[in-house]
Amino acid sequence: MKEPIIQVKDLTKSYGDFEAVRGISFDVYKGEIFGLLGPNGAGKSTTLEIIETLRQKSGGTVIVDGMNLDTDPEAIKKIIGVQLQTAGFYPNLNLTELIHLFVGLYQMQMDPMELLAKVDLVDKAKSKFKELSGGQKQRFSIATTLINRPKIIFLDEPTTGLDPQARRNLWDLILEIRNNGTTVIITTHYMDEAEVLCDRVAIIDSGKIIGINSPNQLIDELVESGFEKVKEVKKANLEDVFIHMTGKQLREA
Ligand code: ADP
Ligand code: MG
């Protein structure tokens, strides 16, 4: 039996007259990587931010690790890690200084070097945030979600704008975090990424969940319904060519 760590039921969110989230229900299981997929404006970030206690919902119930969002938001905050937009970091502080700042906010004990080691940034400990590459910035912001040793982390489009090497590097990091026991909720516009990373995905469109299952089962269902690709699928794609020619090594001088 899969054990739910997040239970969302009939969740709604209106901004004025506009209903951005229209009664969605889903569970996230302990220890899985759960993907929220959907076009821009579908309601993914709104849904995440409600569960993260950062936004008020209009209706429905949210239970996180047995705690009700309506009555226990402070307790929920303590067991989750939320990735900030990278614009939220002081650009002129170095990584060690930024970690000290966060550790102070959370009132936690954490050795900056130990945290940087987890995301392979030890040699950047004295670099300013603004001096990092895009991939390094994302790795650092994922590291900061781990400071309070959370049970669940939330990653909203963590790989947008990264080159293929940095994207793959981040996949490895996210898988490692999950393999160490943390539940991960992620949004992405890259379907190849969702296929590689996610144990299950929910597809949201206009504030409604229109499909939820493992990527494999969703694909099988589509094929069983009679869907056929127009072109014969090649054994590689252009991204495979790119990675084959340029190598997997990270480029972040
Ligand atoms: P996604 O993350 O899937 O792209 P969002 O949750 O950010 O979608 O937004 C869902 C819808 O709600 C969009 O139409 C967006 O314009 C609208 N929206 C988001 N935040 C606000 C807000 N603070 N005020 C009004 N409308 C908002
Ligand atoms: Mg969004």
Q: What are phi and psi of 169, to 5 degrees?
A: -60, -40
Strand pairing report for 152-156 and 80-82: parallel
Distance 109 CA to ligand 2 centre (A): 32
Residue-averaged pLDDT of the chain: 93
Least confident of 40-49, 153-162, 183-192, 238-247: 238-247
Q: Confidence class of residue 29 from pLDDT cuts 50, 70 and 90?
A: very high
Q: Considering only CA atoms, which residue is closest to atom 7 of ligand 1?
A: 45
DSSP alpha helix (H) spans, the chain:
44-51, 73-78, 95-106, 112-118, 134-145, 164-179, 191-197, 215-224, 238-246
Q: Quote the pLDDT of residue 223.
A: 92
Q: Are 2 and 29 in contact (CB under 8 A)?
A: yes
Q: Is the pLDDT of residue 231 over 80?
A: no
pLDDT for 86 equals 67
Residue nearest to ligand 1 atom 5, measured at CA: 43
- Find the mean pLDDT for residues 55-84: 96
- Judging by beta carbons within 10 Å of its beta carbon (0-12, 13-18, 19+), is residue 135 exposed, middle or buried? buried
Which residues touch 173 (CB under 8 Å, ≥6 apart)? 119, 120, 139, 142
pLDDT of residue 96: 95
pLDDT digits (tens, 9 = 90+) for 65-74: 999 999 999 9
Q: Per-residue pLDDT averaged across 106-124, rounded?
A: 90
Q: Is 86 exposed, middle or buried (0-12, 13-18, 19+ CB in 10 A)?
A: middle
- Output the pLDDT for position 253: 55
Amino acid symbol at 229: K
Tokens linked to 112: 């900056």
According to DSSP, residue 128 is labeled B
Picking from 213, 219, 169, the residue whose alpha carbon sits closest to that of residue 32 is 213
Q: Which ligand is nearest to the CA of 43?
A: 1
Which residues sit with their C-beta closer than 6 Å to ligand 1? 15, 20, 38, 40-46
Max avg pLDDT among 22-31, 160-169, 230-239: 22-31
Looking from the CA of residue 40, the nearest atom of ligand 1 is: 4
Q: What is the pLDDT of residue 198?
A: 98
Give per-residue burial for 196-213: e unless 16+ CB within 10 Å, then b: ebbbbbbbbeebebeebe
Looking at the chain, how many residues does it have? Answer: 253
The 10s digit of each residue's pLDDT in 197-212 is 999 999 999 999 999 9
Q: Which of 46, 48, 186 to mutate for ligand 1's pocket (most ligand atoms within 8 Å of CB)? A: 46
- Give CA–CA dist 190/163, Å, rounded: 13
| Ligand 2: centre distance to CA 228 (Å) | 31
